């Protein structure tokens, strides 16, 4: 089974618009996973029916049983995050500050502190407008930036792909280089890097590719808004050559991306010209990798 | 006064706004700009300055000392992050997984796991005229952005007077790094785009700021593209709408080269003035 | 030789699990005694972080010589594997356990 993960390092490069196009072009041959759980937007283009929903629990949170608490203050003393202030003469855990390490629960002389799994969000299994299935999620506000929720989304997508005999999973990866991206990349068979020819685009491309290299996964690159700065575009092409990254396509700057988005459509449904052709060719290249 | 520039969605123009606002304002007064997007710090690409200081930032992790260890395995038992493990006759520590809670170290009966510093990132301080610029960068593979953000905030708060205007470029999203970067700010500017993605992620950002009980206002970037639903949302929810930066190919081109916009595009300057007026008024009203 | 394969089941016909840290089962084959042992590792799904080292630690209890898996252990798990001196062969993620074992015997798998 192929697991194609699309990432960008930097936000706003068109990663989700491009991923949604591949999901559309892949039609019934693919299963889609939106692993950008922090700001999941792909649903706005592919109209899932939010078919099945489940709570997702992850990360521990300390809770103090005030009945058992003798106010010795040992918990507050050992907490490296100052997450247990005294409020109205009671020791109260601040959920946004608690790291979930459990040190307080171990040190508490009266066993007044319990560590409980937090409900950090929901995940969904939906049918999208092409009739194929998509797994997606919604992370609660201020929740741990959960690599585990990303892993859950991917595993559910894999299970469905296996059950339905689908050969390809398309994954919209997370931004940045931290824990959610690491989760998005684990198990990938091919990585598509979406970038733009700007100083920030190149900077972030290089950083995120260093991470991809650590995993030893083969990668290809799409340069969006390629004509906005030809010099920087060339720099990216040089970088791709030097690192032996497949060049997939240059996409010119085009406001149809936004127009399609405002209509809730993928760009390949909206644009009948050059952009559509480029993305179709890109998808043909990627799916045979 | 502390102003954080944030957004739900990435790529809406946080860095563009932070760097242009800071540089433009610094023509009149002293400004401290700090890039807290430690995973992908980009502000530095737009700021020219002389590096005046650099320091490594550390997190504390346990280091196994074999001599007195009785291999009781208590360290492994107390670690909630699988960062310490007893493996046969030895104890292994996984630095990237360690959150630095000290439990294994302080609860070790033979004191065989002293805490030692491990480099997690670098902080750099650049200076040019009225602008002080601080950025921190996380080492690739490190996952605890929050700790580096916190240390960077401490550095800024300890090194600059309270009444200086401090602008913070926050990471994107709504999860813990954003909370850390915004929770001490006096005012948050949320940058968005007038598109369905922009609106969707703006709503998440607004919910986050409300949960933190923060004062905030909205700036629309790439104004003119997309639709008017963001403006509608702001007026329906009584959210102050501060400025709109126009959608121009020229802006994307200037941005791509690492150039500041206000020097070449008068319309951007007008919008920055609107933002400064808004902030100054807020500063006076709240005696910050 | 005692060989551990990361698998999605406990039969020779089961599919391999390409993941090391989050593998569902261990399938352990002892070539000398021709005995098979299995271990259900599915509880690992509850670990947010550090699945790799945890699975590696469990593996170390079986005194194996060879590990066959799909993607190869990540940094932390690799550190554990290095300590134990186990030889690791990767690239068997899409095979069945039987196919993966045969591929290893034929020298078709890449050493990690």
- Judgement on whether residues B221 and B140 belong to the same structural domain of the protein: yes
Record: contact A41-B253, CB cut-off 8 A: no
Record: contact B82-C53, CB cut-off 8 A: yes
Residue B36 domain-assigned (yes or no): yes
What sign has the CA pseudo-torsion A265, A268, A273, A279?
A: positive
Shortest CB distance from B82 goes to which of C50, C75, C83?
C50
Among all chains, which residue has been given the structure tokens 């954003």? Answer: B178
Residue B275 domain-assigned (yes or no): yes
Helix (H, G, I), strand (E, B) or coil at C67: strand
Shortest CB distance from A147 goes to which of C18, C48, C72?
C48
Lowest mean pLDDT among A90-94, A180-184, B167-171, C102-106: A180-184
Rounded Cα gap, residues B262 and B277, in angstroms: 16
User: The domain spanning residue B270 has which CATH number?
Assistant: 3.40.50.300
Asked if residue C7 lies in contact with residue C18, where contact means CB atoms within 8 angstroms, the answer is no
Q: Between helices A230-243 and A199-215, what is the axis angle to 10°?
A: 10
Rounded Cα gap, residues A268 and A283, in angstroms: 11
pLDDT at C48 over 70: no
Q: What residues of C are in contact with residue A187 (Cβ under 8 Å)?
A: 18-19, 71
In b/e form, how buried is each residue of A78-114, taking b as 16+ CB within 10 angstroms?
bbebebbeeeeeebebeebbbbbbbbbbbbbeeebbe
CA distance A254 to chain C (A): 38
CA distance A42 to chain B (A): 9
- Judgement on whether residues B160 and B227 belong to the same structural domain of the protein: yes
Q: How many CB atoms lie within 10 A of CB C105?
A: 11
Domains in chain B, number: 2
Please report the pLDDT score of residue A35 as a whole number. 94
- Judgement on whether residues B18 and B105 belong to the same structural domain of the protein: no
Residue C61 phi, psi dihedral angles, 5° rounding:
-75, -15
Shortest CB distance from A187 goes to which of C18, C48, C49?
C18
Record: contact A101-B101, CB cut-off 8 A: yes
CA distance B163 to chain A (A): 26
Lowest mean pLDDT among A2-6, B73-77, C45-49, C105-109: C45-49
For chain A, the maximum distance between any two Cα atoms, rounded to a whole number of angstroms, is 72
Record: contact A145-B12, CB cut-off 8 A: no
Rounded Cα gap, residues A195 and A276, in angstroms: 18
Domain that holds residue B95: 64-113
Record: contact A148-C48, CB cut-off 8 A: yes
Contacts for A203 with CB less than 8 Å, ≥ 6 apart: A10, B40, B42, B45
Any chains having at least 3 CB pairs less than 8 A from chain A are B, C
Record: contact C49-A59, CB cut-off 8 A: no
Please report the pLDDT score of residue A34 as a whole number. 96
Residue B50 phi, psi dihedral angles, 5° rounding:
-95, 130
Closest-CA residue of C relative to B99 is C49
Please report the pLDDT score of residue A145 as a whole number. 57
User: Domain map of chain A by residue range?
Assistant: 2-47+128-287, 58-119
Q: What are the CA-CA distances from residue A51 to residues A26, A38, A134, A138, B141 (Å)?
A: 21, 20, 10, 14, 36
pLDDT at B212 over 70: yes
Q: What residues of A are in contact with residue C94 (Cβ under 8 Å)?
A: 1
Please report the pLDDT score of residue B70 as a whole number. 97
Please report the pLDDT score of residue A123 as a whole number. 95
Q: What are the CA-CA distances from residue A192 to residues A170, A222, B129, C55 (Å)?
A: 10, 7, 42, 29
- Judgement on whether residues B159 and B275 belong to the same structural domain of the protein: yes
Q: What residues of A are in contact with residue C72 (Cβ under 8 Å)?
A: 216
Q: Which fold has domain C2-29+45-111?
A: Nucleotidyltransferase; domain 5 (3.30.420)
Q: Number of A:B CB contacts under 8 A?
A: 165
Strands (E) in B80-177, as ranges, are: 84-87, 90-93, 115-128, 131-138, 165-169
Asked if residue B55 lies in contact with residue B27, where contact means CB atoms within 8 angstroms, the answer is no
Top residue of B94, B175, B213, B260 to mutate, by most chain A CBs within 10 Å, is B175
Residue B59 domain-assigned (yes or no): no
Q: What are the CA-CA distances from residue B36 to residues A190, B147, B154 (Å)?
A: 31, 11, 12
Closest-CA residue of A relative to B221 is A12
Class of domain A58-119: alpha beta
Please report the pLDDT score of residue A187 as a whole number. 76
CA distance B260 to chain C (A): 40
- Judgement on whether residues B168 and B243 belong to the same structural domain of the protein: yes
Among all chains, which residue has been given the structure tokens 């996380």? Answer: B138
Any chains having at least 3 CB pairs less than 8 A from chain B are A, C
Shortest CB distance from A59 goes to which of C45, C48, C74?
C48
Asked if residue B73 lies in contact with residue C66, where contact means CB atoms within 8 angstroms, the answer is no
Rounded Cα gap, residues B277 and A76, in angstroms: 43
Q: Between helices C51-60 and C75-84, what is the axis angle to 10°?
A: 20
Residue B102 domain-assigned (yes or no): yes
Give CA B111 to chain center in angstroms.
Answer: 37
Please report the pLDDT score of residue B42 as a whole number. 92
Rounded Cα gap, residues A195 and A102, in angstroms: 41
Among all chains, which residue has been given the structure tokens 């409980």? Answer: A116
Q: Between helices A274-287 and A15-26, what is the axis angle to 10°?
A: 70
Residue C83 phi, psi dihedral angles, 5° rounding:
-60, -35
Q: What are the CA-CA distances from residue A16 to residues A11, A169, B11, B106 (Å)?
A: 10, 15, 12, 46
Q: What residues of C are in contact with residue A178 (Cβ under 8 Å)?
A: none
Shortest CB distance from C19 goes to which of A144, A187, A216?
A187
Element (H, E) at A77: helix A74-78
Rounded Cα gap, residues A173 and A162, in angstroms: 21
Asked if residue A4 lies in contact with residue A171, where contact means CB atoms within 8 angstroms, the answer is yes
Q: What are B216-255's pLDDT values in tens digits?
A: 999 999 999 999 999 999 999 999 999 999 999 999 999 9
- Cα-Cα-Cα-Cα torsion C74, C79, C83, C85, nearest 10 degrees, comes to 30
Residue by residue, pLDDT tens for chain A (289 residues) are 899 999 998 888 999 999 999 999 999 999 999 999 888 999 999 999 999 999 998 889 999 999 999 999 999 999 999 999 999 999 999 988 899 999 999 999 999 999 998 888 999 999 999 999 999 999 887 776 577 888 889 989 989 998 999 999 999 998 877 778 888 887 788 999 999 999 999 999 999 999 898 777 899 999 999 999 999 999 999 999 999 999 999 999 999 999 999 999 999 999 889 999 999 999 999 999 8
Write down the mean pLDDT value for chain B: 94
Q: What are the CA-CA distances from residue A59 to residues A87, A98, B60 (Å)?
A: 24, 10, 21
User: Domain map of chain C by residue range?
Assistant: 2-29+45-111
- Judgement on whether residues B231 and B99 belong to the same structural domain of the protein: no
Asked if residue B28 lies in contact with residue B68, where contact means CB atoms within 8 angstroms, the answer is no
Rounded Cα gap, residues C69 and C87, in angstroms: 11
For B192-230, the DSSP string reads: E-SSHHHHHHHHHHHHHHHHTT--EEEEEEEETBS-SHH
- Judgement on whether residues B189 and B247 belong to the same structural domain of the protein: yes
Token representation of residue A261: 């988005």
Top residue of B256, B259, B261 to mutate, by most chain A CBs within 10 Å, is B256
What sign has the CA pseudo-torsion A84, A90, A95, A99?
A: positive
Q: What residues of A are in contact with residue C22 (Cβ under 8 Å)?
A: 151
Domain A2-47+128-287 grouped into CATH 3.40.50.300: yes
Residue C38 phi, psi dihedral angles, 5° rounding:
-130, 155
CA distance A133 to chain C (A): 22
Task: Please tell me which of A8-17, B124-133, C81-90 the model is most confident about, judged by mean pLDDT.
Answer: B124-133
Shortest CB distance from B256 goes to which of A80, A182, A228?
A228
- Judgement on whether residues B87 and B151 belong to the same structural domain of the protein: no
Q: Is B138 on the interface with A (CB under 8 A)?
A: yes
Top residue of C49, C51, C58 to mutate, by most chain B CBs within 10 Å, is C49
Q: What are the CA-CA distances from residue C56 to residues A239, B82, C19 (Å)?
A: 36, 11, 12
Record: contact C48-A186, CB cut-off 8 A: no
Record: contact C80-B92, CB cut-off 8 A: yes
Shortest CB distance from C54 goes to which of B82, B96, B143?
B82
Q: Number of A:C CB contacts under 8 A?
A: 22
pLDDT at B265 over 70: yes
Tell me how long chain A is.
Answer: 289
Asked if residue A272 lies in contact with residue A245, where contact means CB atoms within 8 angstroms, the answer is no
- Cα-Cα-Cα-Cα torsion B163, B169, B171, B177, nearest 10 degrees, comes to -20
Higher pLDDT, A49 or C71: A49
Record: contact C74-A146, CB cut-off 8 A: no
Q: Is B45 on the interface with A (CB under 8 A)?
A: yes
- Judgement on whether residues B97 and B15 belong to the same structural domain of the protein: no
What are residue B62's DSSP bridge partners?
A: B115
Please report the pLDDT score of residue A182 as a whole number. 81
Shortest CB distance from B92 goes to which of C49, C75, C83?
C83
Q: What are B75-110's pLDDT values in tens digits?
A: 999 999 889 999 888 999 998 889 999 999 999 999
Top residue of A187, A214, A215 to mutate, by most chain C CBs within 10 Å, is A187
Strand ranges of the sheet holding C110-111, from the earlier edge strand across to the other edge:
C35-40, C25-30, C2-7, C66-68, C87-90, C110-111
| Contacts of A78-82 spanning 24+ positions with Cβ under 8 A | A78/A103, A78/A104, A78/A107, A78/B102, A78/B103, A78/B106, A79/A103, A79/A104, A80/B100, A80/B101, A80/B102
For chain B, the maximum distance between any two Cα atoms, rounded to a whole number of angstroms, is 71
Asked if residue B72 lies in contact with residue B111, where contact means CB atoms within 8 angstroms, the answer is no
Record: contact B94-C54, CB cut-off 8 A: no
pLDDT at B45 over 60: yes
């Amino acid at each position: 089974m192929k697991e194609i993960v699309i990432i960008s390092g930097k936000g706003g490069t068109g990663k989700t618009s491009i991923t949604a196009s591949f999901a559309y072009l892949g039609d019934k041959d693919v299963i889609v996973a939106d692993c950008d759980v922090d700001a999941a937007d792909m649903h706005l283009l592919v109209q899932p029916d939010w078919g099945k929903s489940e709570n997702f629990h992850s990360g521990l949170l300390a809770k103090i049983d005030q009945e058992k608490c003798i106010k010795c203050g040992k918990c507050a003393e050992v907490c490296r995050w100052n997450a247990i202030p005294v409020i109205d003469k009671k020791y109260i855990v601040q959920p946004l500050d608690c790291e979930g390490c459990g040190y307080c629960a171990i040190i508490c002389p009266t066993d007044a502190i319990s560590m409980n799994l937090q409900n950090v969000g929901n995940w969904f299994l939906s049918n999208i407008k092409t009739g194929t299935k998509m797994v997606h999620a919604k992370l609660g506000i201020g929740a741990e930036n959960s690599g585990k929720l990303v892993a859950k989304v991917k595993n559910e997508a894999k299970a469905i792909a296996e059950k339905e005999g689908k050969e390809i999973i398309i994954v919209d990866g997370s931004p940045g280089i931290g824990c959610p991206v690491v989760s998005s990349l684990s198990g990938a068979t091919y990585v598509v890097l979406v970038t733009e020819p700007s100083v920030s685009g190149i900077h972030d491309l290089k950083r995120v590719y260093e991470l991809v290299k650590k995993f030893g996964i083969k990668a290809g690159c799409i340069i969006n808004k390629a004509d906005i700065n030809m010099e920087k575009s060339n720099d990216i092409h040089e970088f791709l050559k030097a690192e032996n990254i497949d060049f997939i396509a240059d996409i010119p700057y085009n406001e149809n991306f936004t127009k399609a988005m405002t209509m809730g459509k993928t760009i390949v449904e909206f644009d009948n010209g050059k952009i559509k052709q480029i993305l179709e060719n890109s998808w043909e290249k990627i799916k045979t990798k | 006064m502390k102003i954080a520039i944030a957004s739900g969605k990435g790529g809406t123009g946080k860095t563009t706004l932070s760097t242009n606002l800071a540089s433009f304002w610094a023509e009149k007064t002293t400004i401290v700009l700090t890039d807290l997007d430690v995973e992908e710090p980009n502000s530095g690409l737009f700021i020219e300055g002389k590096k005046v200081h650099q320091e490594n930032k550390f997190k504390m992790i346990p280091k196994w000392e074999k001599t007195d260890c009785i291999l009781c395995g208590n360290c492994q038992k107390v670690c909630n992050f699988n960062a310490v493990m007893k493996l046969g006759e030895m104890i292994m520590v996984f630095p990237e997984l360690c959150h630095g809670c000290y439990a294994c170290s302080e609860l070790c009966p033979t004191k065989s796991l002293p805490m030692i510093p491990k480099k997690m990132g670098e902080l750099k301080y650049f200076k040019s005229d009225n602008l002080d610029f601080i950025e921190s960068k996380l080492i690739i593979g490190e996952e605890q952005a929050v700790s580096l953000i916190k240390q960077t905030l401490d550095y800024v708060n300890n090194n600059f007077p309270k009444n200086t205007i401090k602008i913070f470029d926050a990471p994107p999203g709504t999860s813990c790094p954003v909370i850390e970067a915004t929770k001490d700010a006096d005012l948050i500017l949320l940058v968005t785009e007038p598109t369905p993605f922009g609106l969707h992620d703006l709503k998440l950002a607004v919910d986050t700021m409300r949960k933190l009980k923060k004062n905030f206002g909205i700036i629309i970037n790439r104004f003119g593209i997309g639709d008017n639903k963001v403006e509608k949302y702001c007026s329906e929810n009584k959210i102050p709408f501060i400025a709109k930066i126009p959608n121009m190919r020229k802006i994307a081109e200037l941005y791509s080269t690492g150039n500041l916009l206000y020097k070449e595009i008068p319309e951007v300057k007008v919008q920055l003035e609107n933002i400064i007026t808004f902030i100054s008024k807020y500063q006076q009203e709240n005696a910050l | 030789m005692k060989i551990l394969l990361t698998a999605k089941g406990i039969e020779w016909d089961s599919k391999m699990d390409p993941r090391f840290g989050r593998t569902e089962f261990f399938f352990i084959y002892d070539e000398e005694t021709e005995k098979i042992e299995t271990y259900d590792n599915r509880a690992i799904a509850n670990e947010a972080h550090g699945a790799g080292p945890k699975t590696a630690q469990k593996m170390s209890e079986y005194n194996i010589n060879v590990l066959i898996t799909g993607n190869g252990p990540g940094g932390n798990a690799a550190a554990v594997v290095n300590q134990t001196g186990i030889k690791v062969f990767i690239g068997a993620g899409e095979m069945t356990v039987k196919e993966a074992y045969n591929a290893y015997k034929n020298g078709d798998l890449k050493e990690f």
